[in-house]
Amino acid sequence: MSAAPSPFSFILETPAAAPEEARRHFLAKLSVETDPADVQLDLERGKKGFVVVDVRSKEAYAERHVPGALNLPSRTITAETTSHLSKDDVIVTYCWGPGCNGSTKAAARFAALGFRVKEMIGGIEYWVKEGHATEGTAARGTPVYTKRGDT
- In whole angstroms, what is the distance from residue 145 CA to residue 118 CA? 24
Q: What 3-state DSSP class applies to 117?
A: strand
- How many CA atoms, within 13 angstroms, populate the side-chain half-sphere of residue 13? 5
Task: From residue 95, give the alpha-carbon distance in Å to each of 32, 52, 91, 150.
Answer: 15, 11, 13, 10
Instruction: Look at the chain and count its residues.
Output: 151
- In whole angstroms, what is the distance from residue 43 CA to residue 7 CA? 49
CA-wise closest residue to 72 among 60, 89, 88? 60
Q: Tens digit of pLDDT per residue, the chain (151 long)? A: 567 788 889 999 999 999 999 999 999 999 999 999 999 999 999 999 999 999 999 999 999 999 999 999 999 999 999 999 999 999 999 999 999 999 999 999 999 999 999 999 999 999 999 999 999 998 777 778 755 555 4
For the chain, the domains span 33-129
Q: What 3-state DSSP class applies to 77?
A: coil
- In whole angstroms, what is the distance from residue 151 CA to residue 72 CA? 9
Q: Is the domain 33-129 a CATH 3.30.70.20 member?
A: no
